[in-house]
Structure 1
Amino acid sequence: MKAIYVATMMAASLALSGQVMADEALAKAKNCLSCHAVDKKLVGPAFKDVAAKYKGDAGALDKLATKVKAGGKGAWGEIPMPPNNVTPEEAKKLTTWILAQK
């Protein structure tokens, strides 16, 4: 029984780490990391700071996915974020990953 539990947990862990890696790969592919980093401010805020700011906000995923796709300004300073060439699904995937940063 313990072996089944361990195997199940390992499979779930691999699936989650694969998902995290895929989302980080998408962030790299879409050039998000040209202006953002996970743990420090570059041109835009650190993703962990975005996650902290929107922690507990039930509407954050949709709100931020819209900003990822359409761009935005004013939330983090004077420098605007330009619109990004992502699908709505990619924007949600990226936003889900960003909001999971700690």
Structure 2
Amino acid sequence: MRKLSALACCAMLVAVPGLALANPALAQKKNCMACHAVDKRLVGPSFKDIGAKYAKQDAAADLATRIVKGSSGRWGPVPMPANPQVSVEEAQALSTWILEQGGKP
């Protein structure tokens, strides 16, 4: 019975429209990996560095806004362009996932 309940919960997560679960696949799909990597600097900072920098702050909403609208001057002279192909829900999920990377070794 427990296995059936767990399976039903997972199925509900998949069936909920608008629910964006962030992971490296979503970051790849939304072109984040063109400039960022999980654990090393490319054009922009690594997701681990971003997560570590903002770990002690309530930064998820701010990061989500910067994902969609872009930003400059936070990590050096190269600006992060706007990403209008990323929905607000996806940006929120990505920002939460990025912040989680800061606590990983």
Higher helix share: 1
Structure 1 equivalent of residue 54 of structure 2: 54
CA offset digits 1:16-49 (Å, max 9, x no partner)? xxxxx85211100001001000100000000000
* Corresponding residue SS for 1:100: helix
Q: Distance in 1 between matches of 2:53 and 2:64?
A: 15
- In structure 2, runs of 5+ residues without a counterpart are 11-20
| TM-score of the aligned structures, taking structure 1 as reference length | 0.77
Q: Distance in 2 between matches of 1:80 and 1:92?
A: 20
RMSD between aligned alpha carbons? 1.7
Q: Distance in 2 between matches of 1:72 and 1:22?
A: 21
* Corresponding residue SS for 2:42: coil
Q: Distance in 1 between matches of 2:24 and 2:94?
A: 8
| TM-score of the aligned structures, taking structure 2 as reference length | 0.75
Over 4 Å off, 4+ runs: none
* Corresponding residue SS for 2:23: helix
Query: After the TM superposition, which residues 1-102 of structure 1 pair with which residues of structure 2 at under 5 Å, given as runs?
Result: 23-58=23-58, 60-84=59-83, 85-101=85-101, 102=104
Q: Which amino acid aligns with 1:42?
A: L
* Identity percentage of aligned residues: 55
